[in-house]
Structure 1
Amino acid sequence: MFLTEASAAVGIAIINSVGNLGGFFGPYVVGYLKDATGFTTFSMYFLATFALLATLSVLAIKKKDSNAGADQTGIAAKS
């Protein structure tokens, strides 16, 4: 909602790229950690940690006030 069309396209491309990298390297990391420790538990903790970090990074994004632009444009924002 707060990105221009070009910025939104770049954002979607970055999200897809990071997701594809995770899909490529994730199985290798799981296999490596399983071989190193003998358990899959540590690899699942590793993946869960990154999922938690991703969640926290999304929650850290501040929501832009929808009424903030109304003063500058003269158009009332929908509530």
Structure 2
Amino acid sequence: MIHQSELDQSNGRWICENTGMWTRDGLTFFSARGDEIPPPRSITFHIWTAYSPFTTWVQIVYDWLDALKIPTA
């Protein structure tokens, strides 16, 4: 079973693909050069469902089975 504490990536960074700004904790932000900057008004995170703590493997399988029913053009 996965617990939230096991997902802690204290050495990880979120890095903006467009500007290069980054953060480790979502509170303090840095420019691509490493200077501390004000936080942006909003950010988005793209995460593969299997890595998400917001769903279960059971739901992932159900979603996959539902996707198989959709005819492709």
Which is richer in strand? 2
Please say which structure displays the higher CA radius of gyration.
Answer: 1
Q: Which structure carries more relative contact order (alpha carbon 8 Å, separation 6+)?
A: 1
Same fold? TM cut 0.5? no
Q: TM-score by structure 2 length?
A: 0.27
Which is richer in helix? 1
